[in-house]
Structure 1
Amino acid sequence: MRIVFAGTPEFASLALQAILAAGHEVPLVFTQPDRPSGRGLKLTPSAVKQTALAADIPVMQPRSLRLDGKYPDDAATARQALLDAAPDLMVVAAYGLILPKWVLELPVHGCFNIHASLLPRWRGAAPIQRAIEAGDPETGITIMQMDEGLDTGDMLLKQALPITAEHTAASLHDELAAMGAQAVLEAISRCRQGKLVRQPQPAEGVTYASKLEKSEAALDFSQPAAVLARRVRAFNPAPGATVQLPGLNDPVKVWAAQAVAQPAARPPGDLVSASPQGIDIAAADGVLRLLELQKAGGKRQSVAAFVQGWRP
């Protein structure tokens, strides 16, 4: 098929690579404008742009696709490029721009979205992190026929993946990215064969995965230890979970922690003990044991290495 692709981060790049490897023609790619990155704040192309350029595919980076919006010239140029590309289908994955009606209707088969949750649960910006934070037993990939709503379109294909106690947002992201790349190939194949079945999303079970904020990083020890341990995994690597330890001026980033089912006998937030095996902090119903940490401006360390240079 002739497919225009729209996406930005590594999650989307894997899908673009899979589409190209499967032999589909990709005449045009849309991605976000280059962003400052690193200590030097050098403008850096997105993962999708890098993949597209390596494959000699033209790249468009409009600031908006709304013809009546803030950047109408960007949108008009993008519209002409999309018309010239004459796509059978548009595949979208973590693009970062809202697609107006004219985009949704231009491809012959419309726009497919690769969404990292089992819709209708976790519509929105951060489905991977929110699923871990909430303690969901599973998540997955939904290939959706896009409409003008926020992740409200008909479901075309769903694949589930169990969430384990070892999953962080980073590791779950990588598994879902690989799953999404294969799932969209299956959806494209069914589309070519005329075998796609559209299933409207049920009204029951809708939840929204709000964008992660830096203000969420600080752990609230009035919550149960199991909830705090999930937040550490959900916010790894970003925005990171933080804790204020005695004797240190700045919060410490927590990379790994586990809930310990034992009475803390101390008010929530108090230091219970510190050893090479873990730093225990009282929570609402037990103890959160910190296992891997990073001081502000320092390197990521095991708790055994961390306690050598820290005295509460």
Structure 2
Amino acid sequence: MEGSKNLPNTPLRIVFMGTPALAAHILERLVTASGASFRVVGVVTRPDQPRGRGLGMDPSEVGAVAAKHQIPTLKPVKIRTPEFLSELEAFEPDLLVVAAYGRILPNSILGVPKIAPMNVHASLLPRHRGAAPVEGAILAGDAETGVTIMRIIEQMDAGPMYLQRRIPIEPNDTQGTLKEKLAELGASAMLEAIDLAAHGALVETPQDESLATYTSQIEKKNAVIDWTSSAAQIERMTRAYDPWPIARTRLGGDEVLIWRAAVEDESQWSGPPSPPPGTIVSMKPNPVVQCGTGRLKLAEVQAPGRKRMSAADFLRGKRVEAGARFGA
């Protein structure tokens, strides 16, 4: 589809929908850039939640940005209600701009904006649809990732695309560093798409369904290391789950969080046949662990509730020697 319908002569009215930090950064950029061509007239985010020791009710990251800029904000518990639909329609939006809102939007909501409901997704669609595209790209060993601006339809992340922007995944990128990069990239891409919408120049490109892959919501159990996996895959886990939920294993019944690790150079290997996966094969200068394929050199670890520290110091303090086994 080219162009758009009923383009207004006044600035486009945008309602922004989102929740976490990545979305909050995009909202901040949109508010800063608003002016003659568009303005953010409303925000939709999740309800405030109890946080901290006092369990006070705190807004989401997006809610906090909206409050700072005094933007009218809706925080519905349920979105499939006539009441919420009526409140959304009252904004009279030209565009719905969605970033990590966390819920599938029904057609009743998607039909509200005059021009389009637009989403910024943190992957190069149709690859890594779903709730964890950043973690998914790292775990898959992808060389690059990016953002996709697309029209939202009821099928998850399957709508036609307006534009994509790409960045490389660096060898030391974690979930945290990559999300920061993608938040900035996504904000710039969304501003491009809004400008296209303001000029009636949006062009839709269908996704190739044969190339679609999917990710699921990350849970703590996903971060438990299976030492029969390859060293390369476990190293990716340490980066994909940093800063949450953190790759983890057990040693002598105690949990150990693995923050940083590296695949051991195979040219360093010598000695008898490989021991069972999870076995510490050497301690100096850094602990090296046998995996299902390859070996992993541990750099930084943590005991729950304690400070992060070098893996060598941690194991030395516990008087662990070569031959001990993780995950046993």
The TM-score by the shorter chain falls in which range?
over 0.9
CA contact (8 A) 2:148 2:164 kept: yes
Say whether 1:233 aligns with 2:239.
Answer: yes
Instruction: Identify unmatched segments of 5+ residues in structure 2.
Output: 1-11, 321-328
Q: Secondary structure at the match of 1:204?
A: helix
SS at match of 1:253: strand
1:110 aligned to which of 112, 116, 139: 116
Q: Is the contact between residue 64 and residue 97 of structure 1 (CA under 8 Å) also seen in structure 2? A: no
Deviations 1:241-275 (A, max 9, x none): 012224xx321111111111334732111111224
Q: 1:43-83 CA distances to partner (integer Å, 9 max, x unpaired)?
A: 2211100000110111111012113xxxxxxxx33222212
Of 218, 221, 225, the residue aligned with 1:215 is 221
The secondary structure found in structure 2 opposite 1:164 is coil
Q: Equivalent residue for 2:3?
A: none
The structural deviation recorded for 1:97 is 2.0
Residue 130 of structure 2 is matched in structure 1 by 124
Aligned partner of 2:9 in structure 1 is none
Bigger relative contact order (CA 8 A; separation at least 6):
2
RMSD: 1.5
Amino acid at match of 1:258: A
Alignment of 1:1-312 (within 5 A): 1-23=12-34, 24-67=38-81, 76-246=82-252, 249-262=253-266, 263=269, 265-275=274-284, 277-312=285-320
Contact 1:135 1:230 in 2 (8 A): yes
The answer on whether the counterparts of 2:301 and 2:309 sit within 8 Å (CA) in structure 1 is yes
Distance 1:179 1:241, change over 3 A: same
Q: CA deviation at 1:278?
A: 2.1
Query: How many pairs are equivalent?
Result: 301
SS at match of 1:117: coil
CA distance in 1, matches of 2:14, 2:260: 41
Percent identical: 43
Report the alpha carbon displacement of residue 309 of structure 1 after superposing the two structures with TM.
2.4
CA–CA separation in structure 1 for the residues paired with 2:92 and 2:160: 23
TM-score scaled to structure 1, two decimals?
0.92
- Cα distance, 1:42–1:293 mapped onto 2, change above 3 Å: farther
Structure 1 alignment gaps of length 5 or more: 68-75
2-structure distance, mates of 1:153, 1:285: 39
Contact 2:283-2:312 at 8 Å conserved across structures: no
Q: 1:239 Cα shift?
A: 1.3
For the pair shown, the structure with the greater C-alpha radius of gyration is 2
Which whole-Å CA distance do the structure 1 matches of 2:226 and 2:55 have between them? 32
Report the 3-state secondary structure (helix = DSSP H, G, I; strand = E; otherwise coil) of the residue aligned with 2:16.
strand
TM-score normalised by structure 2 residue count: 0.88
1:42/1:310 Cα in 2 relative to 1: closer, same or farther (>3 Å)?
Answer: farther
Q: Given residue 61 of structure 2, which amino acid in structure 1 is its aligned partner?
A: A
Q: Give how far 1:177 is off.
A: 0.6
Is the contact made by 1:20 and 1:26 (CA closer than 8 Å) also made in structure 2?
yes
Deviates further, 17-26 or 127-136:
17-26
- Structure 2 CA distance for partners of 1:210 and 1:44, relative to 1, 3 Å: same
Report the AA paired with residue 272 of structure 1.
Answer: V
TM-fit CA distance, 1:303: 2.6
Does structure 1 retain, via aligned residues, the 8 Å contact 2:105–2:154? yes
Matched to 2:128, the amino acid is: W
Structure 1 residue 188, shift from structure 2 partner? 0.3
CA distance in 2, matches of 1:6, 1:34: 15
Which shifted more, 221-230 or 255-264?
255-264
Q: Which amino acid aligns with 1:209?
A: T
Shift of 1:236: 0.9
Q: Distance in 2 between matches of 1:156 and 1:99?
A: 19
Q: Take 2:113 and 2:310, find their aligned partners in 1: how far apart are those partners?
A: 51
Deviation at 1:307, TM superposition (A): 3.8
CA contact (8 A) 1:65 1:98 kept: no
CA 41–278 in structure 1, closer or farther in 2 if over 3 Å, else same: farther
